[in-house]
Structure 1
């Protein structure tokens, strides 16, 4: 941890301090927050944040703090490691807080570099990020947490990515994250610039720019420094005036100017002169030690400084006492740190080239003897012009960074190794590997960091230099894999074919199994037969050599093709084989678990699906992979199963963890599923969620996503229908159907929603034409898959098709009870809510057919379900229908409708005569079309009246408005 210096009173920062304390207040109340504190070097960022840290500790926050260093680009996650070290020293409630997070434990010095249960490759960073989020959430359960990352202008790429991840994912955790950075260091191409621009657009983030202090505040600050140090300055008022004028409101500059004026007899002419004037006043031996310390960086261990300076203990102690007494270094528990980074930079920049090279070389040798991190060694070897040492250390640093889940840094280290490879004789012996292997590893690291263009370009540069068939196959397989995972255009099929063709077809090897599995994956968009044949070959090769990852991948590919062309029993059989085979790769394992649970859910086997999805969610959470691709998918699948099975309280509890204030596609996808419960239960929660999802709602726009469009658009349409606005619902439906492939089974549900909207509103001729188009699209999607006719449609898809058919009949006025009974029975496999919605319509149909007793029975079943689920809109619609029919049981009104009457009753006085007339017909359950026919006005005019009525009554739906009307009528009758 960074050594603390004597604190002086905080001058002129009350506004900024108040804003930061406000973020702490929000965290205590359960609303996470992020504050980015920027300002010029020396302006007082660290002093302000130190004050916040002290106040947070007084308020019993768990405070974690870490600092980036100028070596941060070589040392991944440096501030996180610093913060975790501090956490390990705390007596946190609940025992060792890091014990449950092996991906974080391995970051600490001396930890097991390859602990059990820790992912590799691209999944390693996802696991690490998820572990940090999980750790903060678990700590925040005991008391609020403050995390401080200082000097982000020096942060490595992985730390910047972690900062973005946490900022986007923190929602209701009691966590505050504060980051500081120098504004004067952010040149136009500085890598922190786009990160700040991205974060500052998020409402979770507050930005605080520290302005220069005013003269009065700065003068009080100097007086406080003088008093705290008990060092009489003894300068004239004129000199103080010059200091204030020259300092430009910068506290650090002012302190240095004042000290220089007192010790050197005048005010230096430049910043560099100002800082170095303090150094020049030291003895020769002290200047030497300070220069050695500057090569080490911002801080240095005592023993390392002693060895590098070449002084005995007594001489070193005397020298350090001189330096510390002058305020140039501060003493900590384990070593020394420069009082300010600017001072270290000035001393380092003043070194002669030869002096700098020698000192870096000396540090490299000393660090190597102590087993220092390879990344730090690589830095000193490079600066000391020791290319063999730099090569060896860079390769090792790349390997370690990849293992730690820092792929961007791994790629950078390995690329640096490739740059100097040709300049180092006997490079293969020194590194124990080849340039080809380094290039492949570098490309893998680039892909893991999401830099697919770099990965593809590196492989394509490498391929012409290869002559070994095994290397040709491996390079092409990786190229095909990276191309299939990205949107970089054509070439993946050709690369995958070349990977397979380079190997003997009759000699099974792990590489052949993987190449065939990748080849099958690239063929999904072209031919089911090709995918099936290639996956079967991959399966045979994988089983022959025990390549379990390739075996599981091949089985999943076969299952996906079978799902589109074959039977459910065969799909389940293949996926069960994949799950039973298992994989050491957590990503492959979670993928198999997800698909196995998903298929069971989609085919009505909810209990088995719930068991599998729950196990997958628990594994992802234990592994820190909650926010990985399949960790996210398993979470929404578990929610859907509970929602379909009718356990809405549990579904709502799960959805509470999805977050509303989304900032990534992954978070938006997860959040969109919560709309099922929010729209189903009514209220305003869905409105806020939809507003956050809107930037991800249009796949043709940058940042848009097809799944979010499908989910948010479809459920926004349902919400509009519950609120009596079929025109808006149809617009949402059209926007979604325009994005879906004609064979997408999700099209069936959306078409059913569109048909519901048509039945509520449009003119008969137009409605019938549009209804015919929607039902034909639903039928085609039900009968056809991506490779041709479907052999089997799952029970949920079949039920939605029945629902679509029934809605189509409703549009055409031919909805006999039979069609709605078939729809209700089709959902009887376990989809409780949709079955109840169909029984609502079945009740209507039975009443129209004169079958009153049968209608009452169906109505009672639907009411019981709606009440149990808390489905307020459906319950209100059933109440209206029951009142029209004269059904009196169950007798109690829905809670939401009753509340609406109490709140909105007075709004009836504001309605016009025509609006009251329209409301009476709305209360009778008539559609806009039926109301228009009775009143001889257009349907659009009815829609305008209904909108005005809802606004004046302060209600959200037609059913709530009807409840207001019925409540007033009941009151009048009494």
Structure 2
């Protein structure tokens, strides 16, 4: 029996296979999902996934398969490149890859190494966006199965990509499947956190493969050609349920070897040339190119072909498409590599360093294994640059750090590396910052400044990372040092151009660090200096950053028109620094929105969203901010169909903070429409309430949701939580305070919507407490509108902020029972800059005030307009509140259907039935009058008529009668 007889039916894995098929079927129906398949080496993971791949292909799926390598973090995105390389052979898929430069570079290896300062974190965001867009576009034509094997060897960037895709795929017809070896996962293995994170996602299925039982193992051996029952019994006992081990035992006639000895016994059957080739292949890794294998082995064409024929016939290496060959199983490669003699291993690694010339990461690996430290230093630097260009910041930092560790052990290190230690350290710090660890970048820069001579560039980078880390005072100090070292004018001589660039960036960073401090005058001066220096040196990113900072100062000082002009100039710049370019577009659209120019804001936001999409940065910080702002503009402009479409793309089942922030923004339109998804979204967002932005957005809208459902006490809990974490000078508090005042008014005002009786009791018990709390909330709103950071004066408040302040003032009057039509008319006017929904809500309250003042005809006009507006928007909670108001005010013509003659309640008029219902709730005549907008005397007449018609003598008996006949 030979290895080539293996295969046949899938034995003992029916349940596991059906679970994978369920994920595959769901993806085909538009419910993307992921599965991770774990098990010991040789347990049958690849066999199971191969069966799934065949099922997928038969069902019309596009199948992409990629494999991780034992070199681990040395080669970032190896499985993605592997999968894309295979997919590029499909004429229908190749154009989708070619249209995305980063993906095409992975396939062809044509990316530019650049100078290592392109920003690998940014490139990673672009690559992730490109991969997501590629899968989404491909899934529009046919469903997709993307398999990543051997995740226990995956690099950090590949692991991050898998998590990103698992979360971001929402409606695309894509199924992700990964395999990993459980016996390789030690306690601190980096795959463990990823598996834990994936397992929390409802879209992820975890499949664990255990040993086959004795009967299944016997059946499996029969499918492999086993016929000797005694031998099969011995193998079943020896293999302990592991199919690969059983296969090797069967091939070795059941000899009682350990697995490594079994595998090496197969190798020892080969002729010497074939063994030499196999050992060289083991040093290369699980896969090896045919030509490279020939050069390392030293065999001529005929000798290599004969050796390879023998190796393949014994099932040790398998042909691997256009690539060359691959080991049939990773355990086989590990056994051959481990069996190499130390000198033999060093010599073969040295051979690979001599022959490899286009893979610095592999070169660094082989140089280190071959104890060639100068070669390892040079290759590590190049590998770091390559990882930067690929968008793999974690891997870039690892390579740079490896080079720094080798530095003191290599003579003439700077000449060997082709870069100075200072520059290498800057690259390493930049990579770790871009990977999301700003604190580590700060530590690395402080260490650098302590060991190397201080430079303006190093201090500027430290300030930049301190800003990212949220350490404003330290950032200001570092930026000041940077500017001092850079001098007030650029130096002359051969380094003048470089010095001019450094000065411009130092000034721009210093201005940015000071921006939210009380030193506004300093910011203005520094930003102007930075702008002049940047334009003189033609440093476009510093120019844009200076314009943004200068605009912010003018905005704070109350000159939004000048700020808008500066931001328009900044947003027109394409500096090549994509985060700054997107930041300029966002703030330009934001200030247009805040000034009430919704059309212009929409145009700028659309430009920003398109630019983020084109550059693959839709999921970057400002990419998501621009999408939220676009949703907000749709929401305010009353374009709720478009807003809803954007909100539907924001994941409900979130697991990371950036996703939670974006998800929270969807609540603006969903709460206003009363969508069923609101409760589910709020439940998923609750674990992220520790974040200030999530707290403000999500809990603020949760408060509105509670109010629409008649629960003002819960709404107040949300409002109080927001006030505890948001800075008192932040203008976002104005809206929150207005919401809190709405809740207090509902507690104290029986005319508000559908209050719960127990809450009315609480309000009656503590009316003074409500008024005191209302005073506090109004004062907070006024302070947020006028006082800036550091108790400085705030600039001109935007139109929406002014409208929310007017709303807060009006709600305060509702709490105190002093609201009049003139209280609400300014609110209505303030929101008429284009905020359709708030205009309708203001008409609702204006109608109530008009009814209370006796202006019934005007109230009817406002009510009808509000009904039309709310219906047009699809604002169901508001529409229901307006219907209730209209019923209480008798604006509607609908009356209750006649009751059977025997029921004495049928003798009551419609208005008397309304009054009786309120009497049954325990309301006094005054409260009933306020609820129904009628006089106390009229209520008294109605109550007297009710008692007479029902034949009872007290309000209590009337209430009991009503309860009895309406059960």
1:301 matched to 2:289: yes
Name the counterpart of 2:623: 631
Partner SS state of residue 336, structure 1: strand
* Cα deviation code 1:125-171 (max 9, x no counterpart): 11111111111111122222111111010011111111122222222
Q: How does 1:181-330 map to 2 (within 5 A)?
A: 181-226=180-225, 236-261=228-253, 266-330=254-318
Q: Structure 1: any 5+ residue segments left out of the alignment?
A: 227-232, 700-704, 910-915, 936-967
> 1:919, CA displacement in angstroms?
11
Q: 1:568 aligns with which of 554, 560, 581?
A: 560
2:751 matched residue in structure 1: none
Contact persistence 1:66–1:78 (CA under 8 A): yes
**Structure-2 separation of matches of 1:630 and 1:103:** 21
Partner of 1:519: 510
Question: In 2 relative to 1, CA 218–423 (structure 1 residues): closer, same or farther, beyond 3 Å?
Answer: same
Name whichever of 318-327 and 835-844 sits farther off: 318-327
Deviation of the 1:114 alpha carbon:
7.1
For 1:756 and 1:170, locate their aligned partners in 2 and report how far apart those are by CA, in whole Å. 39
Q: Is residue 453–residue 488 contact of structure 1 (8 Å, CA) maintained in 2?
A: no
Q: Distance in 1 between matches of 2:75 and 2:812?
A: 63
Aligned to 1:400: 386
**Which residue of structure 1 lines up, in the alignment, with residue 679 of structure 2?**
687
Asked if structure 2 preserves the Cα contact closer than 8 Å seen for 1:782 and 1:793, the reply is yes
SS in 2 for 1:66: strand
Partner of 1:501: 484
SS at match of 2:127: helix
Q: What's the offset of the Cα at 1:931?
A: 9.7
- Which of 860, 871, 877 is 2:864 aligned to? 860
Question: Are the counterparts in 1 of residues 113 and 388 from structure 2 also a CA contact under 8 Å?
Answer: no
Q: Deviations over 1:637-686 (max 9, x none)?
A: 00000100011111111111112111221111111111111111113211
Structure whose alpha-carbon radius of gyration is higher: 2
Aligned pairs for 1:939-950 (under 5 A) are none
CA contact (8 A) 1:377 1:393 kept: yes
Q: SS of 1:873's equivalent? A: helix
Q: Deviations over 1:700-742 (max 9, x none)?
A: xxxxx21111111111111111111111111111111221111
What is aligned with 1:389?
375
Displacement, 1:883? Answer: 2.1
Deviation at 1:489, TM superposition (A): 8.4
SS in 1 for 2:72: coil
> What is the CA distance between 1:766 and its match in structure 2?
2.2
Return closer, same or farther for 1:13/1:923 CA change in 2, 3 Å cut-off: farther
SS at match of 2:356: helix
Residues in 2 aligned to 1:918 and 1:364: alpha-carbon distance in whole angstroms: 97
Partner of 1:71: 71
Give the Cα separation in 2 of the matches to 1:221 and 1:388. Answer: 52
Which 5+ residue runs of structure 2 have no aligned equivalent? 491-498, 748-762, 904-909, 930-961
- Distance in 1, matches of 2:585 and 2:789, equals 24
Structure 1 residue 414 and structure 2 residue 400: aligned?
Answer: yes
Aligned partners of 1:397 and 1:410 also within 8 Å: yes
**SS state of the match for residue 491, structure 1?**
helix
How far off its partner does 1:924 sit?
7.8
- SS for the counterpart of 2:35 is strand
Shift in alpha-carbon separation, 1:506–1:22, aligned structure 2, 3 A = same
**1:544 CA displacement:** 1.9
Q: Which moved more, 1:733-742 or 1:6-15?
A: 6-15
Separation of aligned partners in 2, 1:928 and 1:808: 26
Tell me the TM-score normalized by structure 2.
0.88
Corresponding residue of 1:160: 159
Change (3 A) 1:929 1:736: farther
Q: Within 1, Cα distance between the matches of 2:5 and 2:410?
A: 45
- Which residues in structure 2 correspond to 1:113-192 (within 5 Å)? 113=112, 120-192=119-191
Residue 880 (structure 1) aligned with residue 884 (structure 2) = yes
Contact 1:884–1:925 (Cα < 8 Å) also in 2: no
Give the match for residue 729 of structure 2.
743
- CA offset at residue 772 of structure 1? 1.0
Select 2:785's aligned residue among 779, 782, 785. Answer: 782
Deviation at 1:91, TM superposition (A): 3.0
Change (3 A) 1:505 1:333: same
- Aligned mate of 1:353, from 337, 342, 352: 342
Alpha-carbon distance in structure 2 between the residues aligned to 1:717 and 1:618: 34
**CA deviations over 1:443-483 (Å, ceiling 9, x no partner):** 1111111233332222222213333xxx6111111111111
Deviations 1:757-801 (A, max 9, x none): 111113322221111111111111111121412231111000001
Number of positions where the alignment pairs a residue of Structure 1 with one of Structure 2? 891
Deviation at 1:111? 2.5
- Cα distance in 2 between the residues matched to 1:330 and 1:39: 23
Q: Distance in 1 between matches of 2:29 and 2:4?
A: 30
Q: Helix, strand or coil: the match of 1:208? A: strand
Note if contact 1:415-1:442 (Cα within 8 Å) is conserved in structure 2. yes
In the alignment, the residues of structure 2 paired with residue 722 and residue 658 of structure 1 have an alpha-carbon distance, to the nearest angstrom, of 23
CA distance in 2, matches of 1:663, 1:602: 31
Q: Distance in 1 between matches of 2:443 and 2:249?
A: 52
Matched, 1:99 2:98: yes
Give, in whole Å, the separation in 1 of the partners of 2:656 and 2:417. 40
Q: How far apart are residue 5 of structure 1 and its match? A: 10
Aligned-residue CA RMSD (Å): 2.9
Cα distance in structure 2, aligned partners of 1:101 and 1:520:
37
Contact 1:499-1:515 within 8 A present in 2 as well: yes
CA distance in 2 between counterparts of 1:96 and 1:573 reads: 41
Q: Do the aligned partners of 2:785 and 2:794 also contact (CA within 8 Å) in 1? A: yes
Corresponding residue for 2:17? 17
So what's the TM-score if we normalise by structure 1? 0.88
The answer (yes or no) to whether the contact 2:531–2:543 under 8 Å persists in 1 is yes
Query: 2:643 pairs with 646, 651, 671, which one?
Result: 651
The Cα of 1:223 is off from its aligned counterpart by 1.3
